[in-house]
Amino acid sequence: MSDSRTTITFARGDGIGPEIMDSTLEVLRAAGARLDYEEIEIGEKQYLAGNTSGIGPEDWKTLQRNRIFLKSPITTPLGSGYKSLNVTVRKSLRLFSNVRPCRAYAPYVSTNFPDIDMVIIRENEEDLYAGIEHQQTDEVVQTLKLVSRPGCEAICRYAMEYARAYGRKKVTCLTKSNIMKHTDGLFQKVFEEIAKEPQYSDIETEHRIIDIGAALVAAHPEDLDVIVTLNLYGDIVSDIAALVAGSVGLAGSANIGFDAAMFEAVHGSAPDIAGKDIANPSGLIHAATKMLVHLDQGDVAEKIRNAWLKTLEDGIHTADIYKESLSKEKVGTKAFTQAVIERLGQKPTVFEPVAFANKGIRIELPEHPPREKKLVGIDVFIDWTDSDRDPDVIGTRLQACNGDGLKLKLITNRGVKVFPEGLKETFCTDHWRCRFILEEGLEKCSHSQISSLMLRVANAGFDFIKTEHLYTFDGERGYSLAQGE
Ligand code: NAD
Protein backbone atom coordinates (compact mmCIF):
# COMPACT_ATOMS: atom_id res chain seq x y z
CA MET A 1 0.00 0.00 0.00
CA SER A 2 1.31 3.43 -0.88
CA ASP A 3 0.69 6.49 1.31
CA SER A 4 1.94 8.94 -1.28
CA ARG A 5 -0.45 11.11 -3.23
CA THR A 6 -0.72 10.90 -7.01
CA THR A 7 -1.94 13.58 -9.37
CA ILE A 8 -4.23 12.12 -12.00
CA THR A 9 -5.71 13.67 -15.11
CA PHE A 10 -9.45 13.32 -15.56
CA ALA A 11 -11.85 14.30 -18.34
CA ARG A 12 -15.62 14.62 -18.07
CA GLY A 13 -16.21 13.74 -21.74
CA ASP A 14 -19.60 13.97 -23.47
CA GLY A 15 -23.19 12.79 -23.02
CA ILE A 16 -23.55 11.18 -19.59
CA GLY A 17 -19.78 11.59 -19.09
CA PRO A 18 -19.95 14.67 -16.81
CA GLU A 19 -22.61 13.10 -14.55
CA ILE A 20 -20.82 9.80 -14.07
CA MET A 21 -17.46 11.56 -13.59
CA ASP A 22 -18.93 13.81 -10.88
CA SER A 23 -20.33 10.74 -9.17
CA THR A 24 -17.01 8.87 -9.38
CA LEU A 25 -14.99 11.82 -8.07
CA GLU A 26 -17.39 12.21 -5.14
CA VAL A 27 -16.97 8.54 -4.25
CA LEU A 28 -13.17 8.76 -4.59
CA ARG A 29 -13.01 11.80 -2.31
CA ALA A 30 -15.39 10.32 0.27
CA ALA A 31 -13.38 7.08 0.36
CA GLY A 32 -10.16 8.97 1.05
CA ALA A 33 -8.35 8.24 -2.22
CA ARG A 34 -4.87 9.76 -2.00
CA LEU A 35 -5.25 11.66 -5.26
CA ASP A 36 -4.93 15.18 -6.61
CA TYR A 37 -6.76 16.05 -9.77
CA GLU A 38 -6.15 17.99 -12.98
CA GLU A 39 -9.01 18.31 -15.44
CA ILE A 40 -8.69 18.36 -19.22
CA GLU A 41 -11.29 18.68 -21.95
CA ILE A 42 -11.67 15.93 -24.53
CA GLY A 43 -14.26 14.84 -27.04
CA GLU A 44 -16.85 16.44 -29.22
CA LYS A 45 -16.01 20.11 -28.49
CA GLN A 46 -12.33 19.49 -29.19
CA TYR A 47 -13.10 17.61 -32.40
CA LEU A 48 -15.37 20.38 -33.60
CA ALA A 49 -12.74 22.99 -32.68
CA GLY A 50 -10.43 21.33 -35.20
CA ASN A 51 -8.37 19.03 -32.96
CA THR A 52 -8.75 15.90 -35.07
CA SER A 53 -7.84 13.48 -32.29
CA GLY A 54 -10.31 14.97 -29.78
CA ILE A 55 -7.76 16.58 -27.48
CA GLY A 56 -6.00 19.96 -27.52
CA PRO A 57 -2.18 20.40 -27.39
CA GLU A 58 -2.13 21.83 -23.82
CA ASP A 59 -4.35 19.05 -22.50
CA TRP A 60 -2.12 16.53 -24.21
CA LYS A 61 0.83 17.94 -22.24
CA THR A 62 -1.10 17.47 -18.96
CA LEU A 63 -1.77 13.88 -19.90
CA GLN A 64 1.88 13.25 -20.70
CA ARG A 65 2.95 14.82 -17.41
CA ASN A 66 0.57 12.97 -15.07
CA ARG A 67 0.46 9.70 -17.04
CA ILE A 68 -2.62 8.41 -15.21
CA PHE A 69 -5.88 9.19 -16.97
CA LEU A 70 -9.44 8.65 -15.71
CA LYS A 71 -11.63 9.17 -18.73
CA SER A 72 -15.36 9.52 -19.27
CA PRO A 73 -16.82 8.35 -22.58
CA ILE A 74 -16.88 10.76 -25.46
CA THR A 75 -19.13 11.18 -28.48
CA THR A 76 -17.33 10.80 -31.78
CA PRO A 77 -18.87 13.26 -34.26
CA LEU A 78 -20.27 11.63 -37.38
CA GLY A 79 -18.28 12.07 -40.57
CA SER A 80 -14.76 11.24 -41.60
CA GLY A 81 -11.47 12.87 -40.63
CA TYR A 82 -11.79 12.31 -36.87
CA LYS A 83 -9.16 10.10 -35.30
CA SER A 84 -10.05 7.88 -32.37
CA LEU A 85 -8.90 9.54 -29.14
CA ASN A 86 -8.55 6.13 -27.51
CA VAL A 87 -6.25 4.84 -30.23
CA THR A 88 -4.15 8.04 -30.08
CA VAL A 89 -3.76 7.83 -26.29
CA ARG A 90 -3.07 4.09 -26.36
CA LYS A 91 -0.39 4.36 -29.01
CA SER A 92 1.24 7.56 -27.76
CA LEU A 93 1.50 6.41 -24.14
CA ARG A 94 2.30 2.82 -25.16
CA LEU A 95 -0.66 1.34 -23.32
CA PHE A 96 0.01 -2.20 -24.48
CA SER A 97 -2.58 -4.02 -22.40
CA ASN A 98 -6.35 -3.71 -22.31
CA VAL A 99 -7.86 -5.37 -19.26
CA ARG A 100 -11.58 -6.01 -19.15
CA PRO A 101 -12.99 -7.95 -16.24
CA CYS A 102 -16.32 -9.51 -16.97
CA ARG A 103 -18.45 -10.90 -14.19
CA ALA A 104 -22.07 -11.59 -13.45
CA TYR A 105 -23.94 -9.91 -10.60
CA ALA A 106 -26.77 -12.40 -10.39
CA PRO A 107 -29.46 -12.25 -9.21
CA TYR A 108 -29.37 -8.45 -9.35
CA VAL A 109 -28.39 -8.24 -13.03
CA SER A 110 -29.97 -10.79 -15.43
CA THR A 111 -27.64 -13.34 -16.97
CA ASN A 112 -27.84 -16.96 -18.09
CA PHE A 113 -24.43 -17.54 -16.52
CA PRO A 114 -24.47 -16.46 -12.87
CA ASP A 115 -20.98 -17.86 -12.25
CA ILE A 116 -19.07 -15.91 -14.90
CA ASP A 117 -16.00 -14.24 -13.52
CA MET A 118 -13.39 -13.83 -16.23
CA VAL A 119 -10.87 -11.24 -17.25
CA ILE A 120 -9.96 -10.58 -20.85
CA ILE A 121 -6.46 -9.24 -21.42
CA ARG A 122 -6.10 -7.97 -24.94
CA GLU A 123 -2.99 -6.81 -26.75
CA ASN A 124 -3.65 -3.18 -27.52
CA GLU A 125 -1.15 -1.81 -30.04
CA GLU A 126 -0.43 -4.35 -32.77
CA ASP A 127 -2.10 -6.89 -35.04
CA LEU A 128 -4.48 -5.76 -37.78
CA TYR A 129 -5.10 -2.45 -35.98
CA ALA A 130 -1.98 -0.94 -37.57
CA GLY A 131 -4.42 -0.08 -40.35
CA ILE A 132 -1.80 -0.47 -43.10
CA GLU A 133 -3.91 -1.34 -46.13
CA HIS A 134 -3.33 -1.23 -49.87
CA GLN A 135 -5.22 -1.90 -53.04
CA GLN A 136 -2.65 -3.83 -55.03
CA THR A 137 -4.46 -4.89 -58.15
CA ASP A 138 -7.85 -4.20 -59.63
CA GLU A 139 -9.22 -7.20 -57.76
CA VAL A 140 -7.16 -7.54 -54.60
CA VAL A 141 -6.70 -5.47 -51.44
CA GLN A 142 -4.54 -6.35 -48.47
CA THR A 143 -4.02 -5.38 -44.84
CA LEU A 144 -0.85 -5.94 -42.86
CA LYS A 145 -0.96 -7.88 -39.63
CA LEU A 146 2.05 -6.85 -37.54
CA VAL A 147 2.99 -8.78 -34.42
CA SER A 148 6.25 -8.22 -32.54
CA ARG A 149 8.13 -10.35 -30.00
CA PRO A 150 8.36 -7.47 -27.48
CA GLY A 151 4.60 -6.88 -27.97
CA CYS A 152 3.82 -10.56 -27.28
CA GLU A 153 6.21 -10.67 -24.34
CA ALA A 154 4.64 -7.61 -22.73
CA ILE A 155 1.05 -8.82 -22.97
CA CYS A 156 1.67 -12.49 -22.13
CA ARG A 157 3.80 -11.61 -19.11
CA TYR A 158 1.23 -9.05 -18.00
CA ALA A 159 -1.49 -11.73 -18.17
CA MET A 160 0.55 -14.18 -16.08
CA GLU A 161 1.42 -11.47 -13.53
CA TYR A 162 -2.24 -10.43 -13.41
CA ALA A 163 -3.28 -14.03 -12.68
CA ARG A 164 -0.69 -14.21 -9.89
CA ALA A 165 -1.61 -10.85 -8.38
CA TYR A 166 -5.33 -11.57 -8.36
CA GLY A 167 -5.13 -15.24 -7.31
CA ARG A 168 -6.55 -16.45 -10.62
CA LYS A 169 -6.23 -20.18 -11.35
CA LYS A 170 -6.01 -20.46 -15.13
CA VAL A 171 -4.81 -18.43 -18.13
CA THR A 172 -6.14 -19.34 -21.58
CA CYS A 173 -4.29 -18.05 -24.62
CA LEU A 174 -6.41 -17.70 -27.79
CA THR A 175 -4.82 -17.53 -31.26
CA LYS A 176 -5.25 -18.85 -34.78
CA SER A 177 -1.72 -20.30 -34.85
CA ASN A 178 -2.81 -23.31 -36.90
CA ILE A 179 -3.27 -20.96 -39.87
CA MET A 180 -1.07 -17.91 -39.07
CA LYS A 181 2.00 -19.82 -37.96
CA HIS A 182 4.30 -16.80 -37.87
CA THR A 183 2.17 -14.04 -36.34
CA ASP A 184 -0.25 -15.95 -34.09
CA GLY A 185 2.38 -18.69 -33.84
CA LEU A 186 4.79 -16.20 -32.25
CA PHE A 187 2.12 -15.11 -29.76
CA GLN A 188 1.47 -18.73 -28.75
CA LYS A 189 5.18 -19.55 -28.57
CA VAL A 190 5.94 -16.56 -26.34
CA PHE A 191 2.94 -17.37 -24.14
CA GLU A 192 4.15 -20.95 -23.70
CA GLU A 193 7.73 -19.83 -22.95
CA ILE A 194 6.55 -17.43 -20.23
CA ALA A 195 3.93 -19.81 -18.80
CA LYS A 196 6.70 -22.38 -18.15
CA GLU A 197 8.63 -20.06 -15.80
CA PRO A 198 8.77 -21.44 -12.23
CA GLN A 199 7.06 -18.46 -10.58
CA TYR A 200 3.88 -19.33 -12.52
CA SER A 201 3.92 -23.06 -11.70
CA ASP A 202 0.69 -22.90 -9.68
CA ILE A 203 -1.26 -21.30 -12.54
CA GLU A 204 -2.84 -23.65 -15.06
CA THR A 205 -2.23 -22.54 -18.64
CA GLU A 206 -3.71 -23.66 -21.94
CA HIS A 207 -3.80 -22.61 -25.55
CA ARG A 208 -6.92 -22.82 -27.67
CA ILE A 209 -7.69 -21.92 -31.23
CA ILE A 210 -9.75 -18.73 -31.28
CA ASP A 211 -12.80 -20.26 -33.01
CA ILE A 212 -13.44 -22.79 -30.29
CA GLY A 213 -12.28 -20.27 -27.68
CA ALA A 214 -14.90 -17.72 -28.78
CA ALA A 215 -17.54 -20.46 -28.83
CA LEU A 216 -16.57 -21.38 -25.26
CA VAL A 217 -16.86 -17.76 -24.16
CA ALA A 218 -20.41 -17.76 -25.52
CA ALA A 219 -21.48 -21.23 -24.35
CA HIS A 220 -19.47 -22.04 -21.19
CA PRO A 221 -18.05 -18.73 -19.97
CA GLU A 222 -17.97 -19.96 -16.39
CA ASP A 223 -15.14 -22.38 -17.36
CA LEU A 224 -12.84 -19.50 -18.30
CA ASP A 225 -10.74 -17.45 -15.92
CA VAL A 226 -8.10 -15.18 -17.52
CA ILE A 227 -7.96 -14.93 -21.33
CA VAL A 228 -4.96 -13.43 -23.13
CA THR A 229 -5.17 -12.80 -26.84
CA LEU A 230 -4.28 -10.62 -29.80
CA ASN A 231 -5.91 -7.26 -30.50
CA LEU A 232 -8.67 -8.24 -32.96
CA TYR A 233 -9.71 -11.47 -31.23
CA GLY A 234 -9.70 -9.63 -27.90
CA ASP A 235 -11.95 -6.93 -29.32
CA ILE A 236 -14.50 -9.51 -30.45
CA VAL A 237 -14.27 -11.87 -27.50
CA SER A 238 -14.59 -9.09 -24.91
CA ASP A 239 -17.87 -7.94 -26.43
CA ILE A 240 -19.21 -11.51 -26.49
CA ALA A 241 -18.17 -11.90 -22.86
CA ALA A 242 -19.73 -8.61 -21.79
CA LEU A 243 -22.99 -9.57 -23.47
CA VAL A 244 -23.25 -13.03 -21.93
CA ALA A 245 -22.39 -11.63 -18.49
CA GLY A 246 -25.18 -9.10 -18.95
CA SER A 247 -23.22 -6.35 -17.26
CA VAL A 248 -21.76 -4.24 -20.07
CA GLY A 249 -23.19 -1.11 -18.42
CA LEU A 250 -21.35 -1.93 -15.19
CA ALA A 251 -17.91 -2.84 -16.47
CA GLY A 252 -14.78 -0.71 -16.31
CA SER A 253 -11.65 -1.26 -18.33
CA ALA A 254 -7.99 -0.45 -17.90
CA ASN A 255 -5.39 0.33 -20.55
CA ILE A 256 -2.02 -0.30 -18.97
CA GLY A 257 1.44 0.66 -20.19
CA PHE A 258 4.95 0.61 -18.74
CA ASP A 259 4.67 4.02 -17.09
CA ALA A 260 1.20 5.28 -18.00
CA ALA A 261 -2.37 4.02 -17.78
CA MET A 262 -5.90 5.01 -18.77
CA PHE A 263 -9.09 3.88 -17.03
CA GLU A 264 -12.62 4.16 -18.38
CA ALA A 265 -16.10 2.62 -18.44
CA VAL A 266 -16.78 0.08 -21.16
CA HIS A 267 -19.97 1.81 -22.34
CA GLY A 268 -20.25 4.92 -24.53
CA SER A 269 -21.55 8.44 -23.89
CA ALA A 270 -25.25 7.42 -24.02
CA PRO A 271 -26.49 10.72 -25.46
CA ASP A 272 -30.10 9.41 -25.26
CA ILE A 273 -30.09 9.71 -21.45
CA ALA A 274 -27.59 12.55 -20.96
CA GLY A 275 -28.40 15.25 -18.39
CA LYS A 276 -31.38 13.36 -16.92
CA ASP A 277 -29.75 12.05 -13.73
CA ILE A 278 -30.57 8.45 -14.68
CA ALA A 279 -27.17 7.13 -15.89
CA ASN A 280 -25.55 4.32 -13.96
CA PRO A 281 -22.08 5.52 -12.82
CA SER A 282 -20.90 1.99 -11.92
CA GLY A 283 -18.70 1.41 -15.00
CA LEU A 284 -16.60 4.49 -14.28
CA ILE A 285 -16.55 3.77 -10.54
CA HIS A 286 -15.17 0.31 -11.32
CA ALA A 287 -12.60 1.82 -13.66
CA ALA A 288 -11.56 4.17 -10.83
CA THR A 289 -11.10 1.26 -8.41
CA LYS A 290 -8.82 -0.40 -10.95
CA MET A 291 -6.87 2.84 -11.09
CA LEU A 292 -6.49 2.83 -7.30
CA VAL A 293 -5.17 -0.74 -7.34
CA HIS A 294 -2.75 0.27 -10.08
CA LEU A 295 -1.58 3.15 -7.88
CA ASP A 296 -1.07 0.80 -4.97
CA GLN A 297 -4.12 2.18 -3.10
CA GLY A 298 -5.83 -1.22 -2.85
CA ASP A 299 -7.17 -0.27 0.61
CA VAL A 300 -9.31 2.53 -0.87
CA ALA A 301 -10.29 0.43 -3.90
CA GLU A 302 -11.50 -2.32 -1.58
CA LYS A 303 -13.60 0.10 0.45
CA ILE A 304 -15.31 1.46 -2.67
CA ARG A 305 -15.87 -1.92 -4.29
CA ASN A 306 -17.38 -3.47 -1.14
CA ALA A 307 -19.65 -0.45 -0.63
CA TRP A 308 -20.78 -0.73 -4.25
CA LEU A 309 -21.55 -4.46 -3.90
CA LYS A 310 -23.50 -3.72 -0.70
CA THR A 311 -25.52 -1.02 -2.50
CA LEU A 312 -26.38 -3.52 -5.25
CA GLU A 313 -27.39 -6.16 -2.67
CA ASP A 314 -29.50 -3.65 -0.78
CA GLY A 315 -31.64 -3.28 -3.90
CA ILE A 316 -30.70 0.33 -4.62
CA HIS A 317 -30.60 0.29 -8.40
CA THR A 318 -30.43 2.73 -11.27
CA ALA A 319 -33.07 2.40 -14.00
CA ASP A 320 -30.93 0.27 -16.33
CA ILE A 321 -30.82 -2.65 -13.85
CA TYR A 322 -34.01 -1.97 -11.86
CA LYS A 323 -36.36 -5.00 -11.54
CA GLU A 324 -39.49 -4.82 -9.46
CA SER A 325 -39.03 -8.33 -8.07
CA LEU A 326 -35.47 -7.72 -6.82
CA SER A 327 -34.92 -4.00 -6.45
CA LYS A 328 -36.05 -1.98 -3.44
CA GLU A 329 -35.56 1.54 -4.77
CA LYS A 330 -35.12 3.01 -8.25
CA VAL A 331 -32.63 5.84 -7.94
CA GLY A 332 -30.91 8.38 -10.17
CA THR A 333 -27.18 8.92 -10.60
CA LYS A 334 -26.88 11.30 -7.63
CA ALA A 335 -28.89 9.18 -5.19
CA PHE A 336 -26.98 6.05 -6.22
CA THR A 337 -23.72 7.89 -5.57
CA GLN A 338 -24.91 8.89 -2.08
CA ALA A 339 -25.99 5.31 -1.39
CA VAL A 340 -22.49 4.04 -2.22
CA ILE A 341 -20.88 6.77 -0.08
CA GLU A 342 -23.14 5.90 2.89
CA ARG A 343 -21.95 2.30 2.66
CA LEU A 344 -18.21 3.03 2.59
CA GLY A 345 -16.72 0.81 5.30
CA GLN A 346 -19.48 -1.82 5.00
CA LYS A 347 -19.09 -5.24 3.39
CA PRO A 348 -21.50 -7.17 1.18
CA THR A 349 -23.16 -10.28 2.63
CA VAL A 350 -24.53 -12.03 -0.49
CA PHE A 351 -21.48 -11.35 -2.67
CA GLU A 352 -18.00 -12.28 -1.53
CA PRO A 353 -16.27 -9.13 -0.20
CA VAL A 354 -13.25 -8.16 -2.28
CA ALA A 355 -9.72 -7.84 -0.96
CA PHE A 356 -7.08 -6.07 -3.02
CA ALA A 357 -3.92 -7.04 -1.19
CA ASN A 358 -1.89 -6.83 -4.36
CA LYS A 359 -0.01 -3.94 -5.88
CA GLY A 360 -0.33 -2.65 -9.39
CA ILE A 361 1.41 -4.91 -11.88
CA ARG A 362 4.78 -3.86 -13.25
CA ILE A 363 6.61 -5.90 -15.85
CA GLU A 364 10.00 -5.78 -17.48
CA LEU A 365 10.98 -7.04 -20.90
CA PRO A 366 14.05 -9.23 -21.38
CA GLU A 367 16.78 -8.36 -23.87
CA HIS A 368 17.53 -10.93 -26.55
CA PRO A 369 20.83 -11.26 -28.43
CA PRO A 370 20.29 -10.48 -32.13
CA ARG A 371 19.89 -13.55 -34.35
CA GLU A 372 21.79 -14.12 -37.59
CA LYS A 373 19.58 -12.99 -40.47
CA LYS A 374 20.17 -14.35 -43.98
CA LEU A 375 18.45 -13.29 -47.18
CA VAL A 376 17.50 -16.50 -49.02
CA GLY A 377 14.99 -15.42 -51.64
CA ILE A 378 12.10 -13.16 -52.53
CA ASP A 379 8.36 -13.31 -53.09
CA VAL A 380 7.48 -11.10 -56.06
CA PHE A 381 3.80 -10.14 -56.30
CA ILE A 382 2.63 -9.55 -59.85
CA ASP A 383 -0.54 -8.04 -61.33
CA TRP A 384 -1.29 -10.23 -64.38
CA THR A 385 -4.39 -11.08 -66.41
CA ASP A 386 -2.99 -12.14 -69.84
CA SER A 387 -3.44 -15.50 -71.58
CA ASP A 388 -6.72 -16.29 -69.76
CA ARG A 389 -4.72 -16.23 -66.54
CA ASP A 390 -3.08 -19.55 -67.37
CA PRO A 391 -0.57 -20.27 -64.54
CA ASP A 392 1.67 -22.28 -66.87
CA VAL A 393 2.11 -19.22 -69.10
CA ILE A 394 3.18 -16.84 -66.30
CA GLY A 395 5.31 -19.61 -64.78
CA THR A 396 7.20 -20.37 -68.00
CA ARG A 397 7.76 -16.66 -68.72
CA LEU A 398 9.08 -16.05 -65.20
CA GLN A 399 11.41 -19.05 -65.36
CA ALA A 400 13.16 -17.15 -68.12
CA CYS A 401 14.11 -14.57 -65.45
CA ASN A 402 16.03 -17.17 -63.39
CA GLY A 403 19.72 -16.52 -62.96
CA ASP A 404 22.48 -15.16 -60.74
CA GLY A 405 21.73 -17.78 -58.06
CA LEU A 406 17.96 -17.24 -57.88
CA LYS A 407 15.29 -19.44 -59.48
CA LEU A 408 11.49 -19.54 -59.54
CA LYS A 409 10.27 -22.15 -57.08
CA LEU A 410 6.51 -21.76 -57.31
CA ILE A 411 3.62 -19.44 -57.92
CA THR A 412 0.55 -19.16 -55.71
CA ASN A 413 -2.71 -17.34 -56.18
CA ARG A 414 -4.40 -16.26 -52.92
CA GLY A 415 -2.00 -18.64 -51.13
CA VAL A 416 -2.75 -21.78 -53.21
CA LYS A 417 -0.03 -23.26 -55.40
CA VAL A 418 -0.89 -22.92 -59.10
CA PHE A 419 2.56 -23.47 -60.65
CA PRO A 420 4.19 -25.88 -61.21
CA GLU A 421 1.55 -28.58 -61.31
CA GLY A 422 -1.43 -26.59 -60.08
CA LEU A 423 -5.00 -27.81 -60.29
CA LYS A 424 -6.95 -26.40 -63.20
CA GLU A 425 -9.99 -25.93 -60.91
CA THR A 426 -8.19 -23.29 -58.76
CA PHE A 427 -9.73 -19.85 -59.32
CA CYS A 428 -7.06 -17.28 -60.17
CA THR A 429 -7.34 -13.59 -59.39
CA ASP A 430 -5.07 -10.95 -60.97
CA HIS A 431 -2.70 -11.20 -57.97
CA TRP A 432 0.19 -13.71 -58.29
CA ARG A 433 2.81 -14.45 -55.64
CA CYS A 434 5.96 -15.71 -57.37
CA ARG A 435 8.59 -17.21 -55.10
CA PHE A 436 12.24 -17.08 -56.15
CA ILE A 437 14.70 -18.91 -53.93
CA LEU A 438 18.40 -19.61 -53.87
CA GLU A 439 19.80 -22.33 -56.07
CA GLU A 440 20.90 -25.50 -54.31
CA GLY A 441 24.17 -25.17 -52.41
CA LEU A 442 23.98 -21.39 -51.92
CA GLU A 443 23.62 -20.02 -48.41
CA LYS A 444 22.46 -16.47 -48.90
CA CYS A 445 22.10 -13.75 -51.50
CA SER A 446 22.65 -10.00 -51.63
CA HIS A 447 20.37 -7.05 -52.28
CA SER A 448 22.10 -6.50 -55.62
CA GLN A 449 21.20 -10.06 -56.73
CA ILE A 450 17.59 -9.30 -55.75
CA SER A 451 17.71 -5.96 -57.65
CA SER A 452 19.05 -7.67 -60.79
CA LEU A 453 16.27 -10.25 -60.61
CA MET A 454 13.67 -7.48 -60.29
CA LEU A 455 15.16 -5.74 -63.31
CA ARG A 456 14.84 -8.96 -65.35
CA VAL A 457 11.21 -9.36 -64.19
CA ALA A 458 10.44 -5.75 -65.19
CA ASN A 459 12.22 -6.15 -68.54
CA ALA A 460 10.12 -9.26 -69.20
CA GLY A 461 7.12 -6.91 -69.11
CA PHE A 462 5.66 -7.85 -65.71
CA ASP A 463 3.86 -5.35 -63.47
CA PHE A 464 5.28 -6.25 -60.06
CA ILE A 465 3.32 -4.60 -57.29
CA LYS A 466 5.22 -5.57 -54.18
CA THR A 467 7.99 -7.79 -52.90
CA GLU A 468 8.67 -9.56 -49.61
CA HIS A 469 12.17 -10.72 -48.79
CA LEU A 470 12.60 -14.26 -47.53
CA TYR A 471 14.91 -14.56 -44.53
CA THR A 472 16.14 -17.16 -42.13
CA PHE A 473 16.96 -16.25 -38.52
CA ASP A 474 19.65 -18.47 -36.98
CA GLY A 475 18.74 -20.94 -39.70
CA GLU A 476 15.02 -20.92 -38.86
CA ARG A 477 12.68 -20.20 -41.77
CA GLY A 478 11.11 -16.76 -41.35
CA TYR A 479 8.31 -17.13 -43.90
CA SER A 480 5.35 -19.42 -44.39
CA LEU A 481 5.24 -22.24 -46.90
CA ALA A 482 2.55 -22.04 -49.53
CA GLN A 483 -0.41 -24.41 -49.43
CA GLY A 484 0.86 -27.34 -51.49
CA GLU A 485 4.57 -26.29 -51.29
P1 NAD B 1 -23.57 3.61 -25.52
O2 NAD B 1 -22.82 2.62 -24.69
O3 NAD B 1 -23.32 5.03 -25.27
O4 NAD B 1 -25.15 3.35 -25.30
C5 NAD B 1 -25.81 2.12 -25.62
C6 NAD B 1 -27.11 2.01 -24.77
O7 NAD B 1 -26.75 1.74 -23.41
C8 NAD B 1 -27.94 3.30 -24.76
O9 NAD B 1 -29.31 2.96 -24.74
C10 NAD B 1 -27.56 3.95 -23.45
O11 NAD B 1 -28.57 4.76 -22.90
C12 NAD B 1 -27.26 2.76 -22.55
N13 NAD B 1 -26.22 3.09 -21.56
C14 NAD B 1 -24.89 3.23 -21.81
N15 NAD B 1 -24.25 3.56 -20.69
C16 NAD B 1 -25.18 3.61 -19.71
C17 NAD B 1 -25.11 3.91 -18.33
N18 NAD B 1 -23.95 4.20 -17.71
N19 NAD B 1 -26.25 3.91 -17.62
C20 NAD B 1 -27.43 3.60 -18.21
N21 NAD B 1 -27.55 3.31 -19.51
C22 NAD B 1 -26.44 3.32 -20.26
O23 NAD B 1 -23.31 3.24 -27.04
P24 NAD B 1 -23.70 4.02 -28.38
O25 NAD B 1 -25.09 4.58 -28.24
O26 NAD B 1 -23.43 3.06 -29.46
O27 NAD B 1 -22.66 5.20 -28.51
C28 NAD B 1 -22.91 6.55 -28.13
C29 NAD B 1 -21.66 7.37 -28.36
O30 NAD B 1 -20.62 6.90 -27.50
C31 NAD B 1 -21.10 7.29 -29.78
O32 NAD B 1 -20.70 8.57 -30.20
C33 NAD B 1 -19.89 6.39 -29.65
O34 NAD B 1 -18.92 6.69 -30.62
C35 NAD B 1 -19.42 6.74 -28.26
N36 NAD B 1 -18.61 5.69 -27.59
C37 NAD B 1 -17.55 6.15 -26.88
C38 NAD B 1 -16.78 5.23 -26.18
C39 NAD B 1 -15.60 5.75 -25.41
O40 NAD B 1 -15.43 6.95 -25.29
N41 NAD B 1 -14.76 4.88 -24.87
C42 NAD B 1 -17.08 3.86 -26.19
C43 NAD B 1 -18.19 3.43 -26.92
C44 NAD B 1 -18.97 4.37 -27.62
Over residues 211-247, the pLDDT tens digits come to: 999 999 999 999 999 999 999 999 999 989 988 887 6
- Of all protein residues, the one whose alpha carbon is nearest to atom 30 of ligand 1 is 268
* Distance (Å) from CA 103 to ligand 1 centroid: 19
* Distance (Å) from CA 25 to ligand 1 centroid: 20
Is the shortest distance between the CB of 320 and ligand 1 below 6 Å? yes
Q: Which atom of ligand 1 is nearest to the CA of 272?
A: 11
| Shared domain check, 75 and 141 | no
Q: What is the pTM of this model?
A: 0.90
| Shared domain check, 230 and 127 | yes
460 pLDDT band, cuts 50/70/90, is very high
| Amino acid in the structure at residue 75 | T
For 173, phi then psi, to 5°, come to -100, 130
3-state DSSP call for residue 333? helix
Over residues 74-85, the pLDDT tens digits come to: 988 777 677 788
124 pLDDT band, cuts 50/70/90, is very high
| C-alpha–C-alpha distance, residues 248 and 237, integer Å | 13
- Give the pLDDT confidence score for residue 377 in this predicted structure: 97
CA atoms within a 13 Å half-sphere pointing along the CA-CB vector of 307: 24
- Give the pLDDT confidence score for residue 362 in this predicted structure: 84
* Distance (Å) from CA 73 to ligand 1 centroid: 8
CATH number at residue 200: 3.40.718.10
Q: Is the pLDDT of residue 249 over 80?
A: no
Residue 360 lies inside a defined structural domain of this protein:
no
Is the shortest distance between the CB of 12 and ligand 1 below 6 Å? no
Helix, strand, coil in percent for the chain, rounding step 5? 35, 25, 40
Q: Is the pLDDT of residue 347 over 90?
A: yes
Residue 364 lies inside a defined structural domain of this protein:
no
| C-alpha–C-alpha distance, residues 120 and 172, integer Å | 10
Residue where one domain finishes, among candidates 181, 213, 244: 244
pLDDT mean over 359-379: 91
CA nearest neighbour of 273 among 251, 249, 254, 289: 249
| C-alpha–C-alpha distance, residues 186 and 225, integer Å | 23
Choice from 83, 269, 337 to test ligand 1 binding pocket (greatest atom count within 8 A of CB): 269
Q: Is the pLDDT of residue 292 over 70?
A: yes
- Give the pLDDT confidence score for residue 355 in this predicted structure: 87
- Of all protein residues, the one whose alpha carbon is nearest to atom 25 of ligand 1 is 270
pLDDT mean over 117-131: 91
- Of all protein residues, the one whose alpha carbon is nearest to atom 23 of ligand 1 is 268
| Shared domain check, 304 and 210 | no
Average pLDDT of the residues of the chain: 93
Q: Which domain holds residue 378?
A: 373-477
* Distance (Å) from CA 268 to ligand 1 centroid: 3
pLDDT cut 70: percent of the chain above it: 99
| Shared domain check, 240 and 119 | yes
Lowest mean pLDDT among 29-43, 317-331, 446-460: 317-331
pLDDT mean over 90-98: 91
Question: How many CB atoms within 10 Å of residue 349?
Answer: 11
For 317, phi then psi, to 5°, come to -130, 145
Looking at the structure of the chain, the number of domains it has is 3
- Give the pLDDT confidence score for residue 154 in this predicted structure: 96
Q: Do residues 435 and 482 make contact, with C-beta atoms less than 8 angstroms apart?
A: yes
Is the shortest distance between the CB of 395 and ligand 1 below 6 Å? no
- Give the pLDDT confidence score for residue 243 in this predicted structure: 85
Residue 483 lies inside a defined structural domain of this protein:
no
DSSP 413: E
Q: Is the pLDDT of residue 465 over 70?
A: yes
- Give the pLDDT confidence score for residue 88 in this predicted structure: 84
Question: How many CB atoms within 10 Å of residue 153?
Answer: 22
| Shared domain check, 119 and 238 | yes
* 43 to 9, 77, 269, 334, 368: CA distances (angstroms): 15, 9, 10, 23, 41
End-to-end distance of the chain based on CA atoms, in angstroms? 58
CATH number at residue 416: 3.30.70.1570
| Shared domain check, 190 and 156 | yes
358 pLDDT band, cuts 50/70/90, is low
Residue 362 lies inside a defined structural domain of this protein:
no
359 pLDDT band, cuts 50/70/90, is low
- Of all protein residues, the one whose alpha carbon is nearest to atom 26 of ligand 1 is 268
* 249 to 77, 111, 265, 279, 370: CA distances (angstroms): 22, 13, 8, 9, 47
Over residues 370-403, the pLDDT tens digits come to: 999 999 999 999 999 999 999 999 999 999 999 9
pLDDT cut 90: percent of the chain above it: 80
| Shared domain check, 240 and 135 | yes
